[in-house]
Structure 1
Amino acid sequence: MKTEFTFENVPVSKLEMNKGQLQGLPKNPRFFRDNRYEAMKKSIEDSPEMLQLRELIVYPYNDKYIVVCGNLRLRACKELGYTELPCKILSEDTPTIKLREYATKDNVSFGENDMDVMMNEWDKSELQDWGIEFAPEPETDEFKERFEAITDETAVYPLIPKYDEKHELFIIISSNEVDSNWLREALDMQHMESYKTGKVSKSNVVDIKDVRHAIENRNTKS
């Protein structure tokens, strides 16, 4: 089927966003997060000629036009002060099933970007200005890296990492519940505050002062 349409600059006042007002064409489901929407507005400001290269696709309705493709562009252009926009005006004979198809396909992104090429051969700051999003850099967990050294197969003895510059980490290994319960009882851990909440609860992280207090009390009773 050949789609009939004409080109025309249409006053913004005659363009309506698709809110489901046409039977058979559900309202536009597309939305951007604030940062993505602002990036699109900046893109229009920086390259207004793109509106000529990629017109809105509209459908005649009650002496106005419903925007089938380009609702967010219309919203941004209104905020930027545009009074008219280039449009492809579909024929009134266009079936609503085709309108739904155009609206859906206009929002579908086929294919993927080769991130290796983009990172090494393109200017990342330019791409970000043009709306391309990059995954955030993973945060370095220095404690996790030091702790993982304990399981290094090349180690011939346990490696005890430092928690930070002020605290040193000691590790007591228990392979069964009996030993674990004995240690908790010996250190009176059931009466200690959790390092996470400050409330008395089961915790496997113990301050050295509590350990010292428990041992000294044990020796006094002996």
Structure 2
Amino acid sequence: MTEIISIALLDFNKGQLAGLPKNPRFSRDYRYEAMKKSISDCPEMLELRELIVYPYMGRYIVVCGNLRLRACKELGYTELPCKILAPDVAVKKLREYAAKDNISFGENDTDILQNEWDKSELQDWGMEFEPEKPVEEFKERFDSISDDTAVYPLIPKYDEKHELFIIISSNEVDSNWLRERLDMQHMKSYKTGKVSKSNVVDIKDVRHVLQDSNTKS
């Protein structure tokens, strides 16, 4: 049975009914604000999807629609359309209704949403989209080859014409030792031209250091 009920008689589900845990649903601020805007822009949806309430001690516990009730209170509503459950509905059923109301069944076809719907409208109505992943530089070049044949590092200046060697350091002590040994504390940056600490060294500099070391020994 559906009736228009004064908001003053509607109670949030706070677990006051034995066997019905308090409403687990919450919403992040931006999603909640989007829902409020949706109600404000399209109030007739409240009649199409009324709150589901259970009579309790002369009042009504909102079983489904607690967030909508909160939003409507903030928007200044004084009464709302509600579907009233019969007093003899089993508490187990109330739990089932509350849980299922918070479950989103199915998935959206992202291709249809992107190509046949207006994305800005959907976002305005509260639908969320995954953030677009930034295009990785050189991604296409390396997608077609396996890990054991990939060329590193992915730096514009260093292309396939360079043979590259990777030295791995798991701690700062070893890293600083290597930079000092190879004089990498005073390398000219290939990006800015400034002299500073670097992780990139030319093989000629390594060769020079090794030759000096052999001469001294």
Give the distance between the partners of 1:9 and 1:76, measured in 2 at CA: 17
The number of equivalent residue pairs is 188
Farther off after superposition, 100-109 or 121-130 = 100-109
Does residue 46 of the first structure (1) align with residue 41 of the second (2)? yes
CA distance in 2 between counterparts of 1:149 and 1:91 reads: 60
Q: Tell me the residue number matched to 1:219.
A: 211
Pick the aligned partner of 2:178 from 184, 188, 192. Answer: 192
Distance 1:206 1:71, change over 3 A: same
Q: 1:67-216 alignment to 2 at 5 Å?
A: 67-145=62-140, 148=142, 151=145, 163-164=155-156, 168=158, 171-173=163-165, 191-192=177-178, 206-208=199-201, 212=205, 214-216=206-208
**Residues 119-145 of structure 1: CA deviation (Å, up to 9, x unaligned):** 111111111111222221111121555
Aligned partner letter, 1:163:
I
Residue 19 of structure 2, aligned match among 13, 24, 34: 24
Q: Deviations over 1:157-181 (max 9, x none)?
A: x9777624xx54754358xxxxx79
The letter of the residue matching 2:60 is: Y
Taking only aligned residues, the RMSD between alpha carbons, in angstroms, comes to: 3.3
Shift of 1:109: 2.2
In 2, Cα distance between equivalents of 1:209 and 1:218: 13
**2:4 & 2:143 partners in 1: Cα distance?**
66
**Consecutive unaligned residues in structure 2, runs of 5 or more:** 169-173, 180-197
- Aligned-partner Cα distance in 2 for 1:85–1:95: 24
Matching residue of 2:194: none
Please give the alpha-carbon distance, in whole angstroms, between the structure 2 residues aligned to 1:159 and 1:93.
Answer: 71
Distance (Å, rounded) in 2 between the aligned partners of 1:20 and 1:171 = 67
**In 2: Cα distance, 1:120 partner to 1:109 partner:** 23
Q: Distance in 2 between the 1:150 and 1:120 partners?
A: 28
Alpha-carbon contact 2:152-2:164 (below 8 Å) kept: no
Q: Is the 8 A contact 1:150 1:160 kept in 2?
A: no
What is the aligned-residue identity percentage? 57
Aligned to 1:196: none
Matching residue's letter, 2:90: P
The residue that corresponds to 1:33 in the other structure is 28
Distance 1:173 1:149, change over 3 A: farther
Shift of 1:149: 7.5
TM-score normalised according to structure 2 size: 0.73
- Say if 1:149 and 1:159, in contact at 8 Å, map to a contact too: no
Q: Note the residue ranges of structure 1 that are not aligned, 5 or more in a row.
A: 1-5, 175-179, 182-187, 194-204
- Cα distance change on mapping 1:150 and 1:210 into 2, 3 Å: farther
Is the CA contact (8 Å cut-off) linking 2:53 and 2:62 kept in structure 1?
yes
1:192 positional shift: 2.8
